[in-house]
Structure 1
Amino acid sequence: MYKLSYFVPESHLDQTKRALFEAGAGKIGDYDSCAWQCQGQGQFRPLAGSDPFLGSAGELEKVSEYKVELVCEDGLIHSALAALKAAHPYEEPAYEVYRIEDL
């Protein structure tokens, strides 16, 4: 089992969650579409050659984003990440993947 966390602007919050749920992520026992989310502020500066969804190359951008966390079974993690990347508006989505140990 893995825990997947990612950052996304509110405009694409539901779209990315839906894509991940359709890929099989977010299932815990007899429940599906399970996720936890909180709002915060992210920042980044697009470098030369980038094609940013928000902001301009060379300029520091601060944006209201959500951090979403959900679980994903081992056999689904690669397809879940592909679904996230396809649904996410950013050229380089920020995400983290952690292995969850069964203790």
Structure 2
Amino acid sequence: MATVFRLVFNVPESHLAACKAAIFAAGAGRYPNSSYFECCWTTLGTGQFRPGESARPFIGTAGSAEAETVAEVRVETPCVGEDIVRQAITALKGAHPYEEPSYQVYRTEQF
């Protein structure tokens, strides 16, 4: 019986393709016993943050008094097994432009 996790992350539209390619190469986007690959759900939204003095922001200025907003894509994808979700997170961090990417992992079901 395989445990399925759902990796959810936000990424600027400019880096969507690179992040998806990285996580899919790490094994994300598959369901157990399925002939489908690179499965994900994407939706557009707006991210907001205010970088502190010691931040190295991809967008905006460190120490700014104003919050930054950026068009981002939320991606949700299945990962079969803890090893795959860990590899996908490592790949995501390598491809994502942000110093600290926003991501979550949920345990969804077992097959």
Q: TM-score, normalized by length of structure 1? A: 0.95
1:44 matched to 2:49? The reply is: yes
Give the CA deviation at 1:79.
Answer: 0.9
Once residues 78 and 64 of structure 1 are traced to their aligned partners in structure 2, the CA distance between those partners, rounded to angstroms, is 26
Partner of residue 61, structure 2: 56
Matches within 5 A, 1:47-86: 47-59=52-64, 60-74=67-81, 75-86=83-94
Q: Percent identity?
A: 49
Contact 2:26 2:88 in 1 (8 A): yes
Q: CA deviation at 1:73?
A: 1.4
Equivalences, count: 103
5+ long unaligned stretches in structure 2? none
> 75, 96, 108: which one pairs with 1:88?
96
CA distance in 1 between counterparts of 2:80 and 2:55 reads: 33
Q: Which runs of 4+ in 1 moved over 4 A?
A: none
Alignment partner of 1:101: what SS? Answer: strand
User: TM-score if structure 2 supplies the norm length?
Assistant: 0.89
Q: What stretches of structure 1 of length at least 5 have no aligned partner?
A: none
CA distance, structure 1, for counterparts of residue 63 and residue 44 of structure 2: 25
Shift of 1:102: 2.9
Q: Deviations over 1:69-91 (max 9, x none)?
A: 00001121111100000000000
Q: Which residue of structure 2 lines up, in the alignment, with residue 4 of structure 1?
A: 7
- 1:99 is matched with 107
Q: After superposing the two structures, state which structure 1 stretch, 17-26 or 52-61, moved more.
A: 52-61
